Structure 1
Amino acid sequence: MFYRSNSDGNGGETTWCFSQVKGTLEDDVTEADLISCVEFNHDGELLATGDKGGRVVIFQRDPASKQCVPKKGEYNVYSTFQSHEPEFDYLKSLEIEEKINKIRWLKQKNQAHFLLSTNDKTIKLWKVSERDKRVTGYNTREEGGRPRDPSRVTQLRVPTVRPADLMVEASPRRIFANAHTYHINSISLNSDQETYLSADDLRINLWHLEITDQSFNIVDIKPANMEELTEVITAAEFHPTECNLFVYSSSKGTIRLCDMRAAALCDRHAKLFEEPEDPQARSFFSEIISSISDVKLSNSGRYMMSRDYLGLKVWDFRMETKPVETYPVHEYLRSKLCSLYENDCIFDKFECCWSGDDHRLMTGSYNGFFRIFERSGGGGRRNELTLEASREAAARPRQPLRARRVATTAKRKKDEISVDCLDFIKKILHTAWHPHESIIAVAATNNLFIFQDKY
């Protein structure tokens, strides 16, 4: 299998180019404006972001950009709405943030679009629909909606439907609440499009989209004595085609595959994916950096990808003992773990994503960097690429991006950046890949960068 190289090998230009940036590029950024999740829908026509202020912004693919040769990945604002509000749990004296943790799209069945959004405690099902017609000629009320005086109704009229300015309405259809004691870190739709799971630190619940007042607890790892707690659930996802299978990862670096046909409570896993630790490499930080922050199943359903603090691993469902592929993301930070622990960066949770054809992987790093790895076929050479979401990239629309490199030794080349000069505030935690095209979305603080492959 042949793969095109992404770079000239010397930090030169690539075939990826800047397409758009959404959000202000000003330095004054409020905490509420920070993007907390990014998600394409199933055909890539819509792109949703959630932020720490509880807002959801939906972008729609520009129809004209699809007619260009080559196609352009350009999106316009389609709808903006407040999904969650800050709350207060009076029984536990806890504030519940409005921050959107995850967004998941349902497959489109009619003209409307549906999506699930969640903060730490409450999941909501939203309907996003268009209205470009209005009814005129009412008998009992004026055109503005006010009731008419019955004595003034002298003749009956047949209401007519007329074109009107397009309005996009977002309305909550279901609210799923009061089922999680701990913060929700994952939601995942089942392939049956009728059920979904939600996961917190110690439990995973199974919901039906039509039932809001009850859910089934399918995983519970809470020990009888909390002092015996050794791990927490960090991410969970359904299999893309097998409705009875799901996986969940833990802070101990393990991934468990569960089959809901085996028992109502999946307290016993069908498979356990774990890479043995090298005793010589063990340190104070080993357990922290081995914690899995995200797990994503491939579109084909054969592989899954896990992200820990320093790298990516690809697992084959048929082999539990070790990953079939390993990709270091920022191995050069291993010598900086002590300072990263002191500033809490070591606890950052990076997400990862697959390309639509499962041939490429993407995840984020620091200094506005994100990494794209091209998987090898038949043990061949693998290409990897570091790109930057920055104002400089936005200043060169449709110009090939320059690959970035980090100097791992004291001797630094001209185009390299020193590890000591990395900006750990500019972190890329959330990324998304278009399901069918080479278009990627990268969240950098309050900005959404959209890039595309020119070829």
Structure 2
Amino acid sequence: MSSGETGGGAAASGSPGVEAPALEWKFSQAFGERAAGEEVQEVDIISAIEFDKSGEHLATGDRGGRVVLFERTDAKEFRSRKELESADYALPRYPEYRYSTEFQSHEPEFDYLKSLEIEEKINKIRWCHTVNGSHFLLSTNDKTIKLWKVSEKKLKKVTDLNVEPPIGNGSSIGGSPVLSSRIYNLHNASWGGQPTVSPIDDFVIPPGGIPSLRLPTVVSSSETALFPRCRRVYANAHAYHINSISNNSDFETFISADDLRINLWNLEVSDQSFNIVDIKPTNMEDLTEVITSAEFHPSQCNTLAYSSSKGTIRLIDMRQSALCDNHAKLYEEPEPPGTKFFFTAIIASISDIKFDRGGRYILSRDYMTMKLWDVNMEASPVATFKVHEYLRPKLCDLYDNDSIFDKFECCISGDGLHVASGSYSNLFRVFGVTPGSDEATILEASKTPNRGRHMQTSSKSGRFINLGRGRRDNRRENESPGSSEMNGGAYDFTSKLLHLAWHPAANLIACAASNSLYMYYA
């Protein structure tokens, strides 16, 4: 039996003992790629990425408070199986997206009571349940959460007017320009409650007045456009910066978390929330940890998990009490004796957690590693993935330039067979989690992601716990320093890949490098 038999992918895929082949990643698309030498504005840097549950839509948020939506375009013209069979060319085997719309979600604010400036930066985006063809999503900055409805509406335009035909080349009637049947300004007026085209701005009153009233005779609907609308604003509930929001599987509630508290909201009620977790001590001098991330279980509406700066994950059951002071389970890996040093507490802080689709496993990301936890095993993770172990000798430099406090996100594939997270120099790594897998691929966020970024390993699957023997295989505890050579011996700590997301159904990763969005498929 292979080491790591209970790896997340094997259990999640329902095929224990079957090793998935390593993925070959290729460049798919890029949006907002900057030209050589182009200076990037701070407000354009992407700060959040999220696929919806179907994978048909993708949303990004930036530091300027904007939300940009993308929609899937491949195979969209073929709706039925008959149409697919009659197509005379092969459809793309990976999802392709196009820009859909964007809107300003948050504006900069100022808290006069605390003399505190509130940035417009989007911290998190979460898609909600689709209702009647309209898409709903939550976005949050440090203090305020907003619910947005994005619906598709038909644009009405004037296609004919009761005007006389143009006379000669002047195209005028009584000295006044004739209003042609072209498309006018789409936002000047409204017709029957829907967007229309208005000719008012182009109309000039001729000398002597207008001899007769000219009215449109045909108004048609031929084009559609997406129109975002803010439906709810959830404010004044957090004293500290919001770091997480997560939708519940009941489609009615969601949670928001800051450093010390987690609140439960009803989507329909914006002026009231319930505090379900509060770790604030009576004396703030006794504070030992803060909440770093929180996530609802994907199918159990009463269960959620949250991580802390001490490297622990707590699973709580909201049925136990109104205020969940006591956790149902605590996931914490004990430190081996003699391994504690100055930076231990800092690099142990968990920056992100994700449930897999089935809810059996929790993926966590701390500064140096990703860990995969079985919800039924609290003592230690079933797998540990070293993201950038070659940076360990440089922790002093990382501390001096504050890079050691960067918060990297992690993601897990829809089938549970692979995990990924970002690093510096715009690199990210993809690991296989099936039994015996030694897949550990390094990719660069550019149009040539595979420029010598593959890491070759000589031993198999030493990252996993051998549950049959009840011990950890330590063959790869000390990785070869050759991994630093993969990066050319140079590190760019200013180019960091913090945000990425995995398509829920396909092997497609979207990641943010500064103001650019890159997509890769396998």
Shared fold (TM-score greater than 0.5)? yes
1:313 aligns with 2:382: no
Percent pairwise identity: 55
Map of 2:8 onto structure 1: none
Letter aligned with residue 339 of structure 2: A
Question: Aligned pair in 2 of structure 1 residues 356, 333: CA closer, same or farther (>3 Å)?
Answer: same
Cα distance in structure 1, aligned partners of 2:353 and 2:491 = 26
Q: How many Å separate the matches in 2 of 1:217 and 1:410?
A: 47
2: CA distance, partners of 1:5 / 1:139: 57
Question: Is 2:36 the counterpart of 1:36?
Answer: no
Q: Which amino acid aligns with 1:451?
A: Y
Q: For 2:129 and 2:219, how far apart are their aligned partners in 1?
A: 29
Distance in 2 of aligned mates of 1:101 and 1:412? 32
Could you say which residue in structure 2 is the equivalent of 1:51?
A: 62
- Pairing 1:278–2:308 present: no
1:417 aligns with 2:487: yes
Aligned to 1:430: 499
2:517 equivalent to 1:448: yes
State the AA in 2 paired with 1:17. Answer: K
Counterpart CA distance in 1 for 2:192 and 2:142 is 48
Q: For the aligned residues, what is the CA RMSD?
A: 2.8
Q: Which residue does 2:444 correspond to in 1? A: 388
Report the CA distance between 1:247 and its aligned residue. 0.6
Alpha carbons of 1:161 and 1:260: their partners in 2 closer, same or farther (altered >3 Å)?
farther
User: Which one-letter code corresponds to 1:84 in the other structure?
Assistant: H
Please state how far the C-alpha of 1:64 moved relative to its aligned partner: 4.6
> Following the alignment from structure 1 to structure 2, what is the Cα–Cα distance between the partners of residues 190 and 161?
43
Q: Distance in 1 between matches of 2:368 and 2:397?
A: 15
Q: Who is 2:19 aligned against?
A: 3
CA–CA distance in structure 2, aligned partners of residues 412 and 228 of structure 1: 41
CA distance in 2, matches of 1:273, 1:57: 36
Quote the Cα distance in structure 1 between the aligned partners of 2:512 and 2:100. Answer: 18
- Which amino acid is 1:28 matched to? E
Alignment equivalent of 2:122, drawn from 97, 100, 121: 100
Cα distance in 1 for residues equivalent to 2:292 and 2:413: 23
Displacement of 1:411 in angstroms is 7.0
Which residue type is aligned with residue 350 of structure 1?
F
Instruction: In structure 1, give the amino acid aligned to 2:149.
Output: K
Query: Given residue 358 of structure 2, which amino acid in structure 1 is its aligned partner?
Result: S
Q: Which runs of 5+ in 2 are unaligned?
A: 1-16, 79-89, 162-190, 201-212, 458-478
Structure 2 residue 281 is the aligned partner of structure 1 residue 240? no
Partner of 2:225: 167
The answer as to 2:144 corresponding to 1:128 is no
The match for 1:9 is none
Distance 1:390 1:435 in 2: 22
Q: Which residue of 1 aligns with 2:24?
A: 15
Question: Using the alignment, how far apart are the partners of 2:294 and 2:334 within structure 1?
Answer: 22
> Please, which of 94, 108, 111 is the counterpart of residue 86 of structure 1?
108
- Which letter does structure 2 place at the counterpart of 1:403? R
C-alpha distance in 1 between matches for 2:192 and 2:65 = 41
Relative to structure 1, is the Cα distance of residues 203 and 411 closer, same or farther in structure 2, using a 3 angstrom cutoff? Answer: closer
Change (3 A) 1:411 1:275: closer
Measured after TM superposition, the shift of residue 161 of structure 1 is: 7.4
The 1:410–1:108 alpha-carbon spacing in structure 2 relative to 1, beyond 3 Å, is: closer
1:410 and 1:126, CA in 2 relative to 1: closer, same or farther beyond 3 A?
A: closer
How far apart are the structure 2 equivalents of 1:402 and 1:339?
26
- In structure 2, the residue corresponding to 1:206 is in which secondary structure? strand
Query: Of the two, which has the highest radius of gyration?
Result: 2
Secondary structure in 2 aligned to 1:341? helix
2:431 is matched with which residue: 367, 370, 373? 373
Q: Deviations over 1:222-246 (max 9, x none)?
A: 0111111100000000000000000
Query: Gapped runs of 5+ residues in structure 1?
Result: 7-13, 147-153, 394-399
The aligned residue for residue 144 of structure 1 is: 198
- In the alignment of these two chains, the number of paired residues is 428
SS, match of residue 416 in structure 2: coil
For 2:333 and 2:444, locate their aligned partners in 1 and report how far apart those are by CA, in whole Å.
Answer: 31
- 1:149 is aligned to none
